[in-house]
Structure 1
Amino acid sequence: MGSELTDTANGSYVSIRRDPRLNALLPVLLLSTYFTASFILRLLRGGDLASDEAQQVAFSHALQLGYGNQPPLYNWLFYCFSRLFGVSVATLAFVKNATLLATCIFLGLAARKIVTERETAWISVLGFLSLPAVFLLSQRDLTHSVGAFAVVAIFLYVLVLMAERPSSGSYALLGAVAGMGFLAKYNFAIIPFATAVALLLEPGLRRLVLNWRLAVTIAVGLIVAGPHVYWATTHLDAATGNTLMEMRAAARSAIPGQLNAAWQLVASIIKCSALTLAIFAAAYRGHIRTIFSASSEWTRVIGRMLVISMILVFVIMLSLDATLMRPKWISIFFVAFPLYLALKVDAAGIHVPEAITRFTMVVGTVIFISLGVVFAGSFH
């Protein structure tokens, strides 16, 4: 079951698919099997809680505007589910896996809005699963970042909706999601700013920023995030916690601080994206040069969002004299990276259903091996 490629006059590739249902079924099976297995294996690991899980349990007894050095959205989410199902390992596992699945769904929905081929949209979902912060770190201990992943995916979906049908309602919804993003992870605040700059640099989408409705977005965002911002400013020591100290915690080095910060950031970017890029290159072998030379309105917007976000992170590192950067701290920005890859394939006009099958098989192998390693390591 495969396809035959034909070269069109403009150099793009057209695929004659023999059984497109199989190409759509494999990723669905992977998603359902993986998240079911993740849930079951977490139950089998028992009640030894990792630090983030223990924090969720400790803070699950009351709703508060703030709890410590992390914003409260994921705590609120767990609180709601714990009221329904009780405070347990099962509830912890369900909330985390359901949140990751929601991220996959909204990334897929965003991709389907702006790519031509249904198969191509799967790159955004499969690529997300291949991010180390997702298949490895999330299965170990992440909670707040998991919540932020979902909000980034929702933000991207609402952004596409707003571009398709600009209205006061869509602008308000984008503001609400942006406010939720700040409540999920403080560094999410970079994303709306990077998005605005990226849109301004794209002539066909500049109108979205140069619109009076943007005031609605800002107002709604401030209303959603405002109560916690007030709490954070009145509990500054608790809100910042050890984060700044940890970012400045690198050992003394003969390397100038700016160079060290740049190296730390570049290394983290590579760790966040290299595996996904390698799997993508293997799946689309023979077409990589064509894919990365292609461009479209949305490839430029998403690509600029990623670049601008990293520049802003670097500026913040310099302003804080930060000498340490962990990949998990910038992982939320790379939720958009698989969507960018999907858009590049779409812009190139390359339709290779076998590539999605290869992508699915390699990603499945990686994430299930990692799941097994995390499960086995929990008993040592």
Structure 2
Amino acid sequence: MSVLAPTADRMAAMADRSSWLWSLWGVVAIGLAYGLVYTSMRLAISHNLPQDDVTANILAQTLEPGYVVRQPPLHEWLLWSVQRLTGPTLLSFLIIKYGLLTATFAFLYLVGKRVFADLRWAAMGALSPLFLYQIGWNLHEGVTHTMALICAVAASMWAFMRIAERGGIGDYLLFGLIAGIGLLSKYSFAGYLFVLLASALLQPSLRARVLDWRMLASIAAGGVIASPFLYWLVAGRHDLVALYGEAVAPKTSSRLTARAIGLGKAIYAPLAFLFPLDVILPVLFPGMLRTGREAVRQGVDPRSFDRGKADWPLLVFHITLGGFLVLILGALSTGATHYLERYMHPFLPFFLLTPLWLLVLVERSGNA
């Protein structure tokens, strides 16, 4: 009995099935399956709500422009909407959490298609948050408002890429719409927007898009989306500066000591937040370290910023670098000492895209 070699049609069909795994729909399918598995496991174990979710469940019984000063209301708004169908149950929280996670995978894939030369790397980049402890593990019992922030960061990066590529008024409105939603997820999204746009100004091709008059349409759209909560803040005379001071207040009486501790944690905490991915990749692909040194050297050399078109890996590097600078300046100016990796969720926007840059180094190093 002879073994027949695969026909060209069969091989093509196998290739099509394999390529589907690296497509947008493949990534979405993985996200949905992942969420379904964990939702089933969680409901099988217990229907009890975690402590933070109990508070949110009470607040979401009514639809309000704002609830508590500490958090913008997007999560409660989503919860109120979903609970019109599910009731005030654990299932409503799980639907939102894993729905937003799947959407994050999708937006990161769309970003990755522009960052990577190979769609397989785009798919791996889309799923890279699962290799960060605070998301891949802590997500399942914590991370409420932060999940909306994660999705907004990925979506806004994709929308900004559309502005750079197409530049139509609709693209600017879409970016503003997503930015407004992001501002309703967590306050730190405003810092991410600033770093994103400031980083884009370093590249001439992106600078022209940022300084285009149509960016006013983005600002208007974002303002409209965020206006109910902004009105609630102003009408209630809530002090966000005092809130920030309480959140990152120095844990020592010495201002100099506080700045020294804060500076150390500002450098350490992002690296810990990226754990274990930032350890796994260099161990498996040591060649990325050499590629990384060259990428960093070019990333801080202004002569390399003008390449005639948008350099997306360079933009992601500058966003990451900007995140470090924000934390360092915060430590030096306020003496903030409360930068711990488990409290890095408010600063997550600066580093959510960093795994994409790390994977670019692996791709370029030829170790894959």
TM-score bracket relative to the smaller structure: 0.7 to 0.9
Q: Percent identity?
A: 25
Contact 2:160 2:175 in 1 (8 A): yes
- Determine the C-alpha separation between the residues in 2 that align with 1:187 and 1:117: 32
- When residues 254 and 70 of structure 1 are mapped into structure 2, their CA distance, relative to the original with a 3 A threshold, is closer
- Determine the C-alpha separation between the residues in 2 that align with 1:23 and 1:32: 18
What is the CA-CA distance between 1:246 and the residue it aligns to? 3.6
- Determine the C-alpha separation between the residues in 1 that align with 2:280 and 2:245: 34
What is the CA-CA distance between 1:157 and the residue it aligns to? 0.9
Contact 1:123 1:341 in 2 (8 A): no
Amino acid paired to 1:275: P
Amino acid paired to 2:348: S
Contact 1:148 1:185 in 2 (8 A): yes
- When residues 253 and 239 of structure 1 are mapped into structure 2, their CA distance, relative to the original with a 3 A threshold, is closer
Q: What is the RMSD of the two structures over their aligned residues, measured on CA atoms? A: 2.8
1:322 equivalenced with 2:342 (yes/no): no
Listed as ranges, the matches of 1:55-204 within 5 Å are: 55-68=55-68, 69-204=70-205
> 3-state SS of the aligned residue for 1:111?
helix
The answer for the alignment partner of 2:234 in structure 1 is: 233
What is the CA-CA distance between 1:330 and the residue it aligns to? 1.7
What is the CA-CA distance between 1:79 and the residue it aligns to? 0.9
What is the CA-CA distance between 1:318 and the residue it aligns to? 4.3
The answer for the alignment partner of 1:47 in structure 2 is: 47
What is the CA-CA distance between 1:190 and the residue it aligns to? 0.9
What is the CA-CA distance between 1:98 and the residue it aligns to? 1.1
- Determine the C-alpha separation between the residues in 2 that align with 1:143 and 1:36: 18
> 3-state SS of the aligned residue for 1:335?
coil
The answer for the alignment partner of 2:357 in structure 1 is: 340
- Determine the C-alpha separation between the residues in 1 that align with 2:240 and 2:49: 23
Listed as ranges, the matches of 1:237-248 within 5 Å are: 237=238, 244-248=245-249
Contact 2:189 2:349 in 1 (8 A): yes
What is the CA-CA distance between 1:227 and the residue it aligns to? 2.2
Amino acid paired to 1:202: Q
Contact 1:62 1:79 in 2 (8 A): yes
Contact 2:262 2:328 in 1 (8 A): yes
Structure 1, gaps ≥5 residues long: 1-17, 356-380
Post-superposition CA distance 1:112-167 (Å, at most 9, x none): 13422111112322321112221122212210001100000100111111111011
Contact 2:133 2:275 in 1 (8 A): no
- When residues 317 and 78 of structure 1 are mapped into structure 2, their CA distance, relative to the original with a 3 A threshold, is farther
What is the CA-CA distance between 1:213 and the residue it aligns to? 1.1
1:304 equivalenced with 2:318 (yes/no): yes
TM-score (norm. length: structure 2): 0.81
Structure 2, gaps ≥5 residues long: 1-13, 299-306
Select between 288-297 and 159-168 the one with higher mean Cα deviation: 288-297
- When residues 319 and 75 of structure 1 are mapped into structure 2, their CA distance, relative to the original with a 3 A threshold, is farther
Select between 96-105 and 19-28 the one with higher mean Cα deviation: 19-28
> 3-state SS of the aligned residue for 1:332?
helix
- When residues 143 and 239 of structure 1 are mapped into structure 2, their CA distance, relative to the original with a 3 A threshold, is farther
Higher relative contact order (CA 8 A, sep 6+): 1
What is the CA-CA distance between 1:332 and the residue it aligns to? 3.0
- When residues 19 and 293 of structure 1 are mapped into structure 2, their CA distance, relative to the original with a 3 A threshold, is farther
The answer for the alignment partner of 2:11 in structure 1 is: none
- When residues 236 and 275 of structure 1 are mapped into structure 2, their CA distance, relative to the original with a 3 A threshold, is farther
- When residues 55 and 236 of structure 1 are mapped into structure 2, their CA distance, relative to the original with a 3 A threshold, is farther
How many residues are treated as equivalent by the alignment? 334
- When residues 238 and 62 of structure 1 are mapped into structure 2, their CA distance, relative to the original with a 3 A threshold, is farther
What is the CA-CA distance between 1:287 and the residue it aligns to? 4.6
Contact 2:195 2:323 in 1 (8 A): yes
Post-superposition CA distance 1:331-366 (Å, at most 9, x none): 2322111222344455x274x6xx4xxxxxxxxxxx
- When residues 152 and 59 of structure 1 are mapped into structure 2, their CA distance, relative to the original with a 3 A threshold, is same
What is the CA-CA distance between 1:55 and the residue it aligns to? 2.0
> 3-state SS of the aligned residue for 1:184?
coil
- Determine the C-alpha separation between the residues in 2 that align with 1:343 and 1:223: 37
What is the CA-CA distance between 1:274 and the residue it aligns to? 3.3
Contact 2:259 2:334 in 1 (8 A): no
- Determine the C-alpha separation between the residues in 1 that align with 2:19 and 2:272: 29
- When residues 262 and 349 of structure 1 are mapped into structure 2, their CA distance, relative to the original with a 3 A threshold, is closer
